[in-house]
Amino acid sequence: WAVMEEDARIILELKKSRNAVILAHNYQTPEIFHGVADIVGDSLALAREAQHTDADVILLAGVHFMAETAKLMNPDKVVLIPDAAAGCSLAESITSEDVALLRQKYPDRPVVAYVNTSAAVKAMSDVCCTSGNAKVVVESLGVPEVIMLPDEFLAQNVAAQTDVKIIAWKGHCEVHERFTPDDILSLRQQHPGVVVLAHPECPPEVVAVSDFSGSTAVMANYVKDLKPARVALITECSMSDNVAQSNPGTEFVRPCNLCPHMKRITLSNIRKALEEMQTSVEIPAELFAPARRSVERMLAVK
């Protein structure tokens, strides 16, 4: 604990001396989320907030695609990620060559890319989406059929809520794909009255037996606003830890899975990143404009 307190103290000093802000995803551990972050949220909030900061340095406490998105919105700022190997099973499930082949196979269908993709895949897409705005983005295109990649389950969960037909890819989040309907049913037996909130990266069968589904920010707001007595957040483990700290009146039942990529970020490597100004995220010049356009189009959809 003493080491963590010392790291946090130095991080707060470095933020001032470097004019840096820390953007942290909801899956970061509480000592990062509550201790040193300036802005916290879901992928959509982090992409939006990255547009509005006047800091010189943005440190992204999250995974690589989130840092790339922040860089796309801030070409002239230094964007740091404390561990460049913090990846994502969804982002790794598809390449720009795969997108080119999909476009050949399904000409004229717009490509909606989840933000959990590389800049190269975003550059080959028409518009991005997150779990918080996927339905709205898909419907904003005004066409009967779209390609939505790479998360098969998110695509199926969105398809269940819209008349737009969705051609999906077979990518999965390694954290959310592991939940099963049986997990939820036994949870309900063991904890009567529990309200079950599932992330839309979960399989549709899991969402079907849950009470509500939404992005991490939507889940956090549900707990804050509706104050359920007992809740289970069917998602990454730190989410419950963080939301529980702000909602002491709610009991959190915790079947959860850890994201090994998110957990690569620690107070110690945040401190090191700010001390050494490493690793700075760069986007290849030829990808920059088309990838940024896909993110901007998403942010322009209300």
Q: Is 236 in the site for ligand SF4 (CB under 6 A)?
A: yes
Give the C-alpha separation, 5 to 35, whole Å. 9
Alpha-carbon Rg for the chain, nearest whole angstrom, is: 19
Measure CA of the first residue to CA of the last residue in the chain; give whole Å.
43
CB of 210 or CB of 215, closer to ligand 13P: 215
Q: Is 261 in the site for ligand SF4 (CB under 6 A)?
A: yes
Nearest approach, Cβ of residue 67 and ligand SF4 (Å): 12
Total residues contacting ligand SF4 (rule CB under 6 A)? 13
For the sheet with 212-213, list strands across it: 212-213, 195-198, 230-234, 251-253
141, two tokens: 């295109």
Of 271, 196, 261, 182, residue with least CA distance to 232: 196
Q: Is 44 in the site for ligand SF4 (CB under 6 A)?
A: no
Give the C-alpha separation, 157 to 11, whole Å. 40
Q: Is 152 in the site for ligand SF4 (CB under 6 A)?
A: no
Q: Mark 79-118 with x for binding to ligand SF4 (rule: CB under 6 A) and - for no binding.
A: ---------xxx-------------------------x--
Which amino acid would we find at residue 233?
Answer: L
131 touches, from ligand SF4, ligand 13P, none (C-beta below 5 to 8 Å by class): ligand 13P
Q: Which residues pair with 253 in a beta bridge?
A: 232
Beta carbons of 227 and 249 less than 8 angstroms apart: yes
Residues 160-199 that bind ligand 13P (CB under 6 A): 173
Answer for which of 63, 123, 138, 195 binds ligand SF4 (CB under 6 A) is 63
Q: Is 26 in the site for ligand 13P (CB under 6 A)?
A: yes
CB of 45 or CB of 90, closer to ligand SF4: 90
Give the C-alpha separation, 29 to 3, whole Å. 16
Give the C-alpha separation, 245 to 35, whole Å. 12
Nearest approach, Cβ of residue 173 and ligand SF4 (Å): 3
Give the C-alpha separation, 116 to 53, whole Å. 22
Q: Mark 184-223 with x for binding to ligand SF4 (rule: CB under 6 A) and - for no binding.
A: -----------------x----------------------
6, two tokens: 């010392």
Consecutive H or E run containing 128: strand 127-129
Residues 101-140 that bind ligand 13P (CB under 6 A): 116, 130-132
Give the interface with ligand 13P as residue ranges (CB under 6 A). Answer: 26, 42-44, 116, 130-132, 173, 201, 215-216
Give the interface with ligand SF4 as residue ranges (CB under 6 A). Answer: 63, 88-90, 116, 173-175, 201, 236, 259, 261-262
Residues of the binding site for [4Fe-4S] cluster:
88, 173, 259
